[in-house]
Amino acid sequence: MAANASAVNFLVGDLVFAQMTGYIPWPARLLDNSHERQAKVQFVLTQGIYKVTYAKLWPYNEQSKARFVTADTLAYEDFSDAMRESEQMCEGSKQKKWELDFVYELRRQRALLEVEPFFIQQVNQLRRTLTRQNQNYAAAQLAFQELLEMHQLSPLLMLRNKEAVDAIKELCRFKSRRLNDRYEAEHMRDLANYLVERMTSLFPENFHTPNFWDKYSALVAIYRRYTADIA
């Protein structure tokens, strides 16, 4: 019996190559492997559901693709479309695994969230003390100092509090209506930029690109998609 001819080699939900008598091996999703001699599969693109012996099942991997995806088989338009759809499914599965692994890593930062109330308190202090109509630079500087000296800033804290992070980022462009406050306003912008640099440095280097904030927003969406409250 062939090495692949066993139920234990396949899991429900696996993408496989399956072959019906008279047809070329075709990408399919495995639906049921409870029978010891044959599995139930659903073929990609055609959506047909059939039972196929394990001897006619192969893993959907690079070795199988090198064997079954040839110039001749790709000449069949339906097979070519089925392979394109299968590759998109694989990419989607890889992305979902990465997202789940990412959320799992976030869970390991839960102990750092004890500073979250203080973080929000200080950001709200900045919102109150630095407005276009009213500025309390001494109070704002104290809030910035508290935030810059926090030792438990974390990616999880940033992802949970996008509105607070956006408020800090907005202060990087802070301006006062009072002309004689130019120096103080510039100092507030500098402090905001220092704090943003500190927060962005918490993320891996591959995120430190000109489109960091796009990536940050995408991570926030992933966090919110998988968990409403990670703590």
Q: Does residue 212 or residue 2 have the better pLDDT?
A: 212
Give the residue extent of every domain in the chain: 7-103, 111-226
Q: Across residues 87-100, what is the average pLDDT? A: 91
> Is the CATH number of domain 7-103 2.30.30.140?
yes
Is the pLDDT at 231 greater than 50? The verdict is: no
Report the chain's C-alpha Rg in angstroms: 27
Copy the structure tokens of residue 202: 């918490």
- Cα–Cα–Cα angle for 101, 158, 171, nearest 5°? 150
Which region holds residue 172: left if phi is over 0, alpha if psi is between -120 and 50, else beta? alpha
Copy the structure tokens of residue 53: 């012996």
Mean pLDDT of the chain: 91
Give the pLDDT score at 1: 35
Give the whole-angstrom CA distance, residue 200 versus residue 221: 17
Least confident stretch, 3-12, 62-71, 140-149, 166-175: 3-12
Q: Is 105 helix (H, G, I), strand (E, B) or coil?
A: helix
